[in-house]
Amino acid sequence: MNMPRILTAACLMVACGCSTSPVAFKSSSVPIPMQGYTVTGSDVSGTSDQIWVFGIGGSMSAQQHTAYKTALGHANGADALVGMSIESHGFVFPPFFMMSTIRVTGTPVKFNPAPAR
């Protein structure tokens, strides 16, 4: 039996894992205008997936932006999201790769028109 190979395989299996963590909580995705907003529906979610190989991947902020745009796309013409939460979910298999999913959830709103002068 080749004990070093078995031990190496066992260590890699133990090092694998999943994680979920909050990234941020935001009151709004953009500054709210003074005239306020109207809620246009119930909470919507969007996700963005990315694979990192040997620590090389993309930008986490770009991944968050993609998830936000996906969520806003489910909101049927909303201008922004309020009460946003951003979560990160990951599966790690060291040292080879990591699969990362960012989920953005928020309430869609439409900005009220500016009052006539």
Q: Which helix (H) or strand (E) holds 22?
A: strand 17-28
Instruction: Report which residue type is found at 46.
Output: G
Q: Quote the tokens at residue 68.
A: 């936000």
Closest CA to 102 of 23, 17, 5: 23
Is 40 within a domain? yes
Is 116 within a domain? no
- pLDDT tens-digit profile, the chain (117 residues): 577 777 776 666 666 777 777 788 888 888 888 888 999 989 999 999 988 887 677 777 888 899 999 999 998 889 999 999 999 888 887 667 888 899 999 999 999 886 666
pTM for this structure?
0.75
Is 24 within a domain? yes
pLDDT attached to residue 59: 77
Q: How many domains does the chain have?
A: 1
> What are the DSSP calls for 33-86, one per residue?
PTT-EEE-SS-EEEEEEEEEETTB---HHHHHHHHHHHHHHTTSS-SEEEEEEE
- Domain residues for the domain of 90 are 14-111
